[in-house]
Amino acid sequence: MLSVRNISKKLPDGRPLLRDISFDVQKGEFVGILGESGVGKTVLLRCINGLTKPDHGEVIMNGDGNPEKINEKRGKELRKIRRKIGMIFQGSILVKRLSVLENVLTGGLGRMSTVRSLFYGFTDGEVKRALEALNQVGIRSLAHRRAETLSGGELQRVAIARAIFQNPHLLLADEPVSNLDPKNTEMVLDFLKPLTEQMAIIGVFHVPKLVSQYCTRIIGIRDGRVVYDGAPTLSDHDLERIYGAGKTVAETSIN
């Protein structure tokens, strides 16, 4: 469904960040991307939905039978593909002065005509689906609260509800749990996991132990290259390949 082929990206100062990264992702997969901080995991995710342009290589999205190269698209065509790709960011990216429900509804903006959205022309059906999405992550009762009154865990659940409402083929999650306590971390991942029935998820994570628990596959990145691509259970040897010598599962399992 998604094909990342030979992606390379240099930092602004010319140092190579990503070198020749390739992988395919199918519907139903929950891919966890691991690697030391600064290795370019976030940039890789941003290359997938075109927020960052790779220097070389292509990203091909094939959600409904006709493959499209994301890295070559601009403007309207790029927006059309982005509808099918959801993204959850590190920390909250919600509009704090809007209500929780309105934030969820913005997940549908890609499908709406600009004129309709400027008049807040959300249909009853859309509002109903947005409320169902909130129900799915257990915070329907917060629908009419302003986003700024929510806690970190709740905000991240709103972000998931927005992704559910958007209903993409592919969901990108950039360190979705890095600011959360263990309890909220588990809750957020528990809400993410079942979404793989309808879509593929690619997530960037810090904690290998969590990834092993929830993901169906791990891609490890070191020095800009894929050094591991396979089963979610990692041996000490695998961890060493990803994080360098001297680290064990216990040490990298912070939190």
Partner 1 sequence: MNILKRYSSILIPSTLLALLLWGGLKVCRVDLTVIIKGIPRGIELFSHMFPPDWGKIPGLIEPALETLQIAFVGTVLGGFLSFFIGLVAAKNIHSIRTLRDTVRVLLSAERALPDLIVMLFFVAIVGLGAFPGVMALVASSVGMLGKLFADAIEEVDPRPLESLEALGATKAQIIHFAVLPQILPSLVANTLYRFEVNIRMSILLGVVGAGGIGFYLVTSIRLMRYQEAMAAILIILVLVTLCEKSAEIIRKRIIGQEILR
- Separation between Cα atoms, residue 42 and residue 32, nearest integer Å: 12
Q: Is 15 helix (H, G, I), strand (E, B) or coil?
A: coil
Q: Which of 104, 113, 103 is nearest to 79 (CA)?
A: 113
Question: Nearer to partner 1 by C-beta: 93 or 127?
Answer: 93
- Separation between Cα atoms, residue 130 and residue 117, nearest integer Å: 15
For residue 74, the minimal CB distance to partner 1 (Å) is 13
Question: Nearer to partner 1 by C-beta: 21 or 85?
Answer: 85
For residue 154, the minimal CB distance to partner 1 (Å) is 16
Question: Nearer to partner 1 by C-beta: 88 or 221?
Answer: 88
For residue 16, the minimal CB distance to partner 1 (Å) is 25
For residue 120, the minimal CB distance to partner 1 (Å) is 9
E strands, the chain, are 2-10, 16-25, 30-34, 56-61, 68-69, 85-88, 170-174, 200-204, 217-222, 225-230
Binding site for partner 1 (CB under 8 A): 49, 51, 78-83, 85-87, 89, 91-98, 102, 106-107, 109-112, 114, 117-118, 146, 166, 168
Question: Nearer to partner 1 by C-beta: 66 or 114?
Answer: 114
Kindly state the tokens that stand for 247. Answer: 């680290």
For residue 165, the minimal CB distance to partner 1 (Å) is 10
Question: Nearer to partner 1 by C-beta: 179 or 213?
Answer: 179
Question: Nearer to partner 1 by C-beta: 98 or 127?
Answer: 98
Other Cβ atoms closer than 10 A to 248: 11
- Separation between Cα atoms, residue 169 and residue 209, nearest integer Å: 26
- Separation between Cα atoms, residue 122 and residue 147, nearest integer Å: 19
Sign of CA dihedral 216, 87, 117, 144: positive
For residue 247, the minimal CB distance to partner 1 (Å) is 31
Report strand pairing: 16-25 vs 170-174.
Answer: unpaired
- Separation between Cα atoms, residue 47 and residue 70, nearest integer Å: 9
What is the CB-side half-sphere exposure of residue 121 using CA atoms within 13 A?
9
Question: Nearer to partner 1 by C-beta: 16 or 152?
Answer: 152
For residue 86, the minimal CB distance to partner 1 (Å) is 6
